[in-house]
Structure formats: structure tokens, C-alpha cells
Amino acid sequence: MKISVLAACALIGILGAGPASANSNEEVGSDEIGRILVQELQRHPGGIIVGNEIHYADGDVFVAVEMGVYSLSQCGSGKFCGWALSNYTGSFYSTSGSGVTKNLSWNARSYSNNRSQGARLYNSSGSASVCFSPGQDRPTIASAYYNPSKVKLSSTSSC
């Protein structure tokens, strides 16, 4: 199902703003997921909502996940992913490519480089970076990388 930002906002208004039950088997369209999607589109406009995901023209994907959901396995092969919370929990972002540098607008506390090539993540000012070897995961990261400016996705195994 694809919906626009306005339709997502209207959906949230219809569903209400009550808290989602953490113990129920709620569908992807839960109030909490809807709010997360709307907030992300307000912060980073231009994407299209498909289920609990926002797809952007450059291939980046944001996946809305209720807080506390462990989702390391959701970072697909060939992807570089960042999660909103430490220990690969909460909503996450993914991007892919080879030999490219991508500007980011993420808020992330944990990362995974599920690629066979290296990746270099730059802090918010772009003045420092950290290398991720192929397949490397980091359940936590220094606060300077919570809002990274960009990631360089190498075409080789080194950064």
C-alpha cells in the first residue's frame, strides 16, 4: 500500500494518538508505526510510504519499527544500516551502493555494515570518521555519529 504524507497524517488523525499496546500482535498500520512514519517524512520529506517503510528516490529506505524490537536481521545483504536506538532496536535506515558517498539525514545509535565492502561513516560535521569493515556491527557508537553527515560505501574491502 502506497500513501502520501497528507494521507498518512489523515490516517493518524483518524486512528487517534493513543499508545500502542506492546503485548498485542498489531498490524503494521498501528498508531505508533503511523506516527513514526509521519515524523520521519516531516524530518526527511520526499519519500513514499509502502507498508511500514519509506522509500526514497536514491534507494535509501527507512523502516518504522516499534520501540524495543530487535531488528539486526532486517538489515539485508549488501546494505549499510543504522538504528534509532542502541543494540539494533527501533526504527532503522538502510542504504546501499558501491564506490559512492551518500549524504545522510539519520538519527542512529547502532550500525551494521552488511556488505562485502568497507564503509566509512562521517560525524555530523564531517570532520572525523569511523571505518566499518565488511560485515562489522556496532551495537553502540560515540555520540558524534548519532547524526552522521555522510557514509562512503567503498568498492573494496577497505574503507
SS3 14: helix
> Chain centroid to CA 129: how far?
19
pLDDT band per the 50, 70, 90 thresholds, residue 73 = confident
Per-residue model confidence as pLDDT tens digits over 102-154:
999 889 999 999 999 999 999 999 999 999 999 999 999 999 999 999 999 99
Q: Which domains does the chain have, with CATH numbers?
A: 1-57 (no CATH), 65-159 (2.60.20.10)
Average confidence (pLDDT) over 15-40: 57
* Between 89 and 25, the higher pLDDT residue: 89
For the chain, give the percent of residues with pLDDT over 70.
Answer: 79
pTM, rounded to two decimals: 0.72
Residues 155, 75: Cα–Cα separation, whole Å: 19
Encoded amino acid at 158, one letter:
S
Per-residue model confidence as pLDDT tens digits over 84-104:
999 998 889 999 999 999 999
Residues 54, 37: Cα–Cα separation, whole Å: 7
pLDDT of residue 142: 95
Average confidence (pLDDT) over 28-53: 86
SS3 52: coil
